[in-house]
Amino acid sequence: MSDIRLNSSKLGTQEYWNTFYEREIGNFEHNEDDTGECWFDDSDAESKMIEFLIQKINDGELPRHYDTLNIIDLGTGNGHLLFQMYDDFEQELDVQVDYNFKGIDYSAESVDFSNKIKSKKYEDQRFEFEQVDLLKKQSDFLDANREKYDILLDKGTLDAIALNQEPVEDLDGKIGMDVYGSQVEKLMHRDSILLITSCNFTEEELVKIITKETELKVWDKITYPVFEFGGVKGSTICSIAFIKE
Protein backbone atom coordinates (compact mmCIF):
# COMPACT_ATOMS: atom_id res chain seq x y z
CA MET A 1 0.00 0.00 0.00
CA SER A 2 1.34 3.46 -0.80
CA ASP A 3 1.02 6.50 1.43
CA ILE A 4 0.45 8.84 -1.53
CA ARG A 5 -3.04 10.34 -1.34
CA LEU A 6 -5.14 12.80 -3.36
CA ASN A 7 -8.19 14.67 -2.12
CA SER A 8 -11.51 13.10 -3.10
CA SER A 9 -13.36 14.72 -5.98
CA LYS A 10 -16.55 14.08 -7.93
CA LEU A 11 -14.28 12.92 -10.80
CA GLY A 12 -13.73 9.81 -8.72
CA THR A 13 -17.35 8.69 -8.92
CA GLN A 14 -19.22 6.60 -11.48
CA GLU A 15 -22.23 8.95 -11.40
CA TYR A 16 -20.00 11.80 -12.55
CA TRP A 17 -18.75 9.86 -15.57
CA ASN A 18 -22.20 8.53 -16.47
CA THR A 19 -23.59 12.07 -16.59
CA PHE A 20 -20.47 13.28 -18.39
CA TYR A 21 -20.77 10.74 -21.23
CA GLU A 22 -24.54 11.09 -21.42
CA ARG A 23 -23.94 14.76 -22.22
CA GLU A 24 -21.23 13.90 -24.73
CA ILE A 25 -23.56 11.42 -26.49
CA GLY A 26 -26.11 14.25 -26.79
CA ASN A 27 -23.47 16.53 -28.33
CA PHE A 28 -22.37 13.80 -30.75
CA GLU A 29 -25.93 13.09 -31.84
CA HIS A 30 -26.27 16.76 -32.57
CA ASN A 31 -22.93 17.03 -34.37
CA GLU A 32 -21.05 13.92 -35.52
CA ASP A 33 -17.75 15.79 -35.58
CA ASP A 34 -17.96 16.29 -31.83
CA THR A 35 -16.49 13.08 -30.44
CA GLY A 36 -15.98 14.55 -27.00
CA GLU A 37 -13.24 15.55 -24.62
CA CYS A 38 -9.72 14.32 -25.23
CA TRP A 39 -7.93 14.31 -21.86
CA PHE A 40 -4.48 15.91 -21.69
CA ASP A 41 -4.88 17.27 -25.21
CA ASP A 42 -2.91 20.40 -24.28
CA SER A 43 0.12 18.19 -23.52
CA ASP A 44 -0.43 16.24 -26.74
CA ALA A 45 -0.49 13.07 -24.62
CA GLU A 46 -2.57 11.00 -27.00
CA SER A 47 -0.29 11.45 -30.01
CA LYS A 48 2.79 11.04 -27.85
CA MET A 49 1.52 7.71 -26.52
CA ILE A 50 0.69 6.52 -30.03
CA GLU A 51 4.01 7.69 -31.48
CA PHE A 52 5.88 6.00 -28.65
CA LEU A 53 4.27 2.66 -29.50
CA ILE A 54 4.65 3.05 -33.25
CA GLN A 55 8.34 3.67 -32.80
CA LYS A 56 8.76 0.66 -30.51
CA ILE A 57 6.94 -1.59 -32.98
CA ASN A 58 8.72 -0.27 -36.07
CA ASP A 59 12.12 -0.52 -34.39
CA GLY A 60 11.44 -4.08 -33.22
CA GLU A 61 11.85 -2.99 -29.61
CA LEU A 62 8.84 -4.69 -28.07
CA PRO A 63 10.13 -7.44 -25.80
CA ARG A 64 8.46 -10.13 -27.95
CA HIS A 65 7.53 -10.71 -31.56
CA TYR A 66 3.77 -10.59 -32.16
CA ASP A 67 1.78 -11.57 -35.26
CA THR A 68 -1.26 -9.96 -33.64
CA LEU A 69 -1.16 -7.35 -30.90
CA ASN A 70 -3.96 -7.42 -28.35
CA ILE A 71 -4.34 -3.87 -27.13
CA ILE A 72 -6.64 -2.71 -24.34
CA ASP A 73 -7.52 0.80 -23.18
CA LEU A 74 -8.42 0.90 -19.49
CA GLY A 75 -11.13 3.48 -18.78
CA THR A 76 -11.54 4.24 -22.47
CA GLY A 77 -14.06 7.11 -22.17
CA ASN A 78 -14.97 8.00 -25.75
CA GLY A 79 -12.56 5.42 -27.22
CA HIS A 80 -10.67 8.21 -28.94
CA LEU A 81 -7.20 6.93 -28.08
CA LEU A 82 -8.00 3.61 -29.77
CA PHE A 83 -9.68 5.15 -32.82
CA GLN A 84 -6.73 7.48 -33.34
CA MET A 85 -4.26 4.66 -32.73
CA TYR A 86 -5.97 2.60 -35.42
CA ASP A 87 -5.76 5.50 -37.91
CA ASP A 88 -2.08 6.09 -37.13
CA PHE A 89 -1.15 2.38 -37.14
CA GLU A 90 -2.71 2.04 -40.59
CA GLN A 91 -0.60 4.95 -41.84
CA GLU A 92 2.67 4.61 -39.99
CA LEU A 93 3.45 1.02 -39.08
CA ASP A 94 6.01 -0.41 -41.43
CA VAL A 95 6.11 -3.92 -40.05
CA GLN A 96 3.65 -6.72 -40.71
CA VAL A 97 1.49 -6.97 -37.61
CA ASP A 98 -2.22 -7.31 -36.98
CA TYR A 99 -4.01 -5.72 -34.03
CA ASN A 100 -7.21 -5.93 -32.01
CA PHE A 101 -8.50 -3.06 -29.92
CA LYS A 102 -10.54 -3.43 -26.77
CA GLY A 103 -11.84 -0.54 -24.68
CA ILE A 104 -13.25 -1.05 -21.19
CA ASP A 105 -14.88 1.42 -18.84
CA TYR A 106 -17.11 1.16 -15.77
CA SER A 107 -19.49 3.72 -17.23
CA ALA A 108 -22.20 2.14 -19.43
CA GLU A 109 -22.59 5.54 -21.10
CA SER A 110 -18.91 5.53 -22.11
CA VAL A 111 -19.35 2.13 -23.74
CA ASP A 112 -22.51 3.31 -25.46
CA PHE A 113 -20.74 6.46 -26.69
CA SER A 114 -17.70 4.54 -28.00
CA ASN A 115 -19.99 2.07 -29.80
CA LYS A 116 -21.94 4.93 -31.36
CA ILE A 117 -18.70 6.50 -32.69
CA LYS A 118 -17.55 3.09 -33.91
CA SER A 119 -20.73 2.42 -35.86
CA LYS A 120 -20.81 5.89 -37.40
CA LYS A 121 -17.13 6.19 -38.25
CA TYR A 122 -15.30 2.88 -37.85
CA GLU A 123 -17.12 -0.23 -38.94
CA ASP A 124 -13.92 -2.19 -38.54
CA GLN A 125 -14.57 -5.22 -36.35
CA ARG A 126 -11.27 -4.82 -34.57
CA PHE A 127 -12.86 -2.51 -31.98
CA GLU A 128 -14.76 -3.91 -29.04
CA PHE A 129 -16.07 -1.99 -26.05
CA GLU A 130 -17.28 -3.47 -22.79
CA GLN A 131 -18.48 -2.25 -19.42
CA VAL A 132 -15.96 -3.42 -16.84
CA ASP A 133 -15.14 -2.10 -13.39
CA LEU A 134 -11.41 -2.58 -12.93
CA LEU A 135 -11.75 -2.60 -9.19
CA LYS A 136 -13.96 -5.68 -8.79
CA LYS A 137 -12.39 -8.63 -7.05
CA GLN A 138 -14.81 -11.15 -8.53
CA SER A 139 -14.61 -10.04 -12.13
CA ASP A 140 -15.71 -12.28 -14.99
CA PHE A 141 -13.75 -10.03 -17.33
CA LEU A 142 -10.49 -10.22 -15.41
CA ASP A 143 -10.93 -13.98 -14.97
CA ALA A 144 -11.72 -14.64 -18.63
CA ASN A 145 -8.90 -12.44 -19.93
CA ARG A 146 -6.00 -13.36 -17.69
CA GLU A 147 -2.66 -12.66 -19.38
CA LYS A 148 -4.44 -11.81 -22.64
CA TYR A 149 -3.21 -8.31 -23.43
CA ASP A 150 0.16 -7.39 -24.93
CA ILE A 151 -0.23 -3.62 -24.63
CA LEU A 152 -2.37 -1.90 -21.98
CA LEU A 153 -3.13 1.82 -22.05
CA ASP A 154 -4.31 4.20 -19.39
CA LYS A 155 -4.82 7.88 -20.05
CA GLY A 156 -6.26 9.54 -16.97
CA THR A 157 -7.99 6.49 -15.50
CA LEU A 158 -5.68 5.85 -12.57
CA ASP A 159 -5.90 9.60 -12.00
CA ALA A 160 -9.71 9.37 -11.78
CA ILE A 161 -9.52 6.26 -9.58
CA ALA A 162 -7.14 8.06 -7.21
CA LEU A 163 -9.71 10.82 -6.75
CA ASN A 164 -11.88 8.42 -4.80
CA GLN A 165 -10.68 7.79 -1.26
CA GLU A 166 -13.58 5.51 -0.31
CA PRO A 167 -12.41 2.00 0.63
CA VAL A 168 -13.42 -0.57 -2.01
CA GLU A 169 -15.71 -2.99 -0.14
CA ASP A 170 -14.90 -5.81 -2.44
CA LEU A 171 -11.15 -5.42 -2.02
CA ASP A 172 -10.64 -5.74 1.71
CA GLY A 173 -11.37 -2.07 2.28
CA LYS A 174 -8.30 -0.83 0.38
CA ILE A 175 -8.72 2.25 -1.78
CA GLY A 176 -8.78 2.03 -5.57
CA MET A 177 -5.32 3.34 -6.36
CA ASP A 178 -3.77 0.79 -3.99
CA VAL A 179 -5.31 -2.19 -5.79
CA TYR A 180 -5.18 -0.81 -9.34
CA GLY A 181 -1.73 -2.31 -10.11
CA SER A 182 -2.53 -5.82 -8.95
CA GLN A 183 -5.94 -5.77 -10.68
CA VAL A 184 -4.50 -4.62 -14.02
CA GLU A 185 -1.57 -7.01 -13.74
CA LYS A 186 -4.01 -9.93 -14.09
CA LEU A 187 -4.57 -8.95 -17.72
CA MET A 188 -0.80 -9.01 -18.42
CA HIS A 189 1.51 -11.86 -19.40
CA ARG A 190 5.26 -11.77 -18.94
CA ASP A 191 6.55 -9.04 -21.35
CA SER A 192 3.24 -7.13 -21.57
CA ILE A 193 3.58 -3.36 -21.51
CA LEU A 194 1.35 -1.01 -19.49
CA LEU A 195 1.63 2.60 -20.68
CA ILE A 196 0.11 5.03 -18.17
CA THR A 197 -0.31 8.78 -18.53
CA SER A 198 -1.03 10.79 -15.40
CA CYS A 199 -1.38 14.42 -14.52
CA ASN A 200 -1.96 13.84 -10.82
CA PHE A 201 1.23 12.03 -9.95
CA THR A 202 4.91 12.72 -10.46
CA GLU A 203 6.99 10.04 -12.17
CA GLU A 204 8.34 8.99 -8.82
CA GLU A 205 4.88 8.62 -7.28
CA LEU A 206 3.51 6.75 -10.28
CA VAL A 207 6.39 4.27 -10.17
CA LYS A 208 5.83 3.72 -6.47
CA ILE A 209 2.09 3.16 -6.86
CA ILE A 210 2.46 0.69 -9.73
CA THR A 211 5.51 -1.31 -8.68
CA LYS A 212 4.89 -1.61 -4.97
CA GLU A 213 2.77 -4.78 -4.91
CA THR A 214 3.18 -6.10 -8.44
CA GLU A 215 5.74 -7.74 -10.70
CA LEU A 216 5.80 -4.61 -12.86
CA LYS A 217 8.99 -2.67 -13.50
CA VAL A 218 9.70 0.55 -15.37
CA TRP A 219 10.46 -0.23 -19.03
CA ASP A 220 10.65 3.23 -20.60
CA LYS A 221 9.01 6.63 -20.48
CA ILE A 222 7.85 9.47 -22.69
CA THR A 223 9.49 12.84 -22.30
CA TYR A 224 7.46 16.03 -22.12
CA PRO A 225 8.64 19.64 -22.05
CA VAL A 226 9.97 20.55 -18.61
CA PHE A 227 9.11 23.81 -16.88
CA GLU A 228 11.15 25.42 -14.15
CA PHE A 229 9.65 27.40 -11.30
CA GLY A 230 11.51 28.71 -8.26
CA GLY A 231 14.48 26.55 -9.12
CA VAL A 232 12.36 23.38 -9.19
CA LYS A 233 12.05 21.45 -12.43
CA GLY A 234 8.94 19.52 -13.37
CA SER A 235 6.44 18.72 -16.09
CA THR A 236 2.68 18.89 -15.86
CA ILE A 237 2.17 15.33 -17.01
CA CYS A 238 4.04 12.04 -17.15
CA SER A 239 3.76 8.83 -19.17
CA ILE A 240 5.55 5.71 -17.99
CA ALA A 241 5.66 2.30 -19.66
CA PHE A 242 5.83 -0.65 -17.26
CA ILE A 243 6.76 -4.20 -18.16
CA LYS A 244 5.66 -7.36 -16.40
CA GLU A 245 8.76 -9.40 -15.68
Ligand X SMILES: C[S@@+](CC[C@H](N)C(=O)[O-])C[C@H]1O[C@@H](n2cnc3c(N)ncnc32)[C@H](O)[C@@H]1O
| 141, containing H or E segment | helix 140-144
One of 57, 71, 151, 160 touching ligand X (CB under 6 A) = 160
Q: Which CB sits closer to ligand X, 89 or 113?
A: 113
How far is Cα 134 from Cα 74, in angstroms, rounded to an integer?
Answer: 8
Of residues 163-222, those binding ligand X (CB under 6 A): none
One of 24, 25, 39, 209 touching ligand X (CB under 6 A) = 39
**Shortest approach of ligand X to residue 48 CB, angstroms?**
13
135 binds ligand X (CB under 6 A): yes
Which string of b and e fits 144-176 if b means at least 16 CB within 10 Å?
ebeebbbbbbbbbbbbbbbbbeeebeebeebbb
| DSSP secondary structure letters along 34-102 | -----TTGGGTHHHHHHHHHHHHHHTT-SSS--SEEEEEEET-TTSHHHHHHHHHHHHH--S--EEEEE
Question: What is the CB neighbour count within 10 angstroms for residue 81?
Answer: 26
110 binds ligand X (CB under 6 A): yes
56 binds ligand X (CB under 6 A): no
Q: Which CB sits closer to ligand X, 10 or 190?
A: 10
The SS3 of residue 114 is helix
**Shortest approach of ligand X to residue 135 CB, angstroms?**
4
The SS3 of residue 31 is coil
One of 53, 75, 178, 219 touching ligand X (CB under 6 A) = 75
How far is Cα 195 from Cα 178, in angstroms, rounded to an integer?
Answer: 18
Of residues 5-34, those binding ligand X (CB under 6 A): 17
One of 69, 72, 85, 161 touching ligand X (CB under 6 A) = 161
Q: Which CB sits closer to ligand X, 130 or 191?
A: 130
105 binds ligand X (CB under 6 A): yes
Nearest C-alpha neighbor of 235 from the set 40, 52, 11: 40
**Shortest approach of ligand X to residue 130 CB, angstroms?**
10
Q: Which CB sits closer to ligand X, 192 or 197?
A: 197
How far is Cα 99 from Cα 231, in angstroms, rounded to an integer?
Answer: 45
Of residues 81-100, those binding ligand X (CB under 6 A): 81
77 binds ligand X (CB under 6 A): yes
| Residue ranges binding ligand X (CB under 6 A) | 17, 38-39, 75-77, 80-81, 105-107, 110, 133-135, 155-157, 160-161
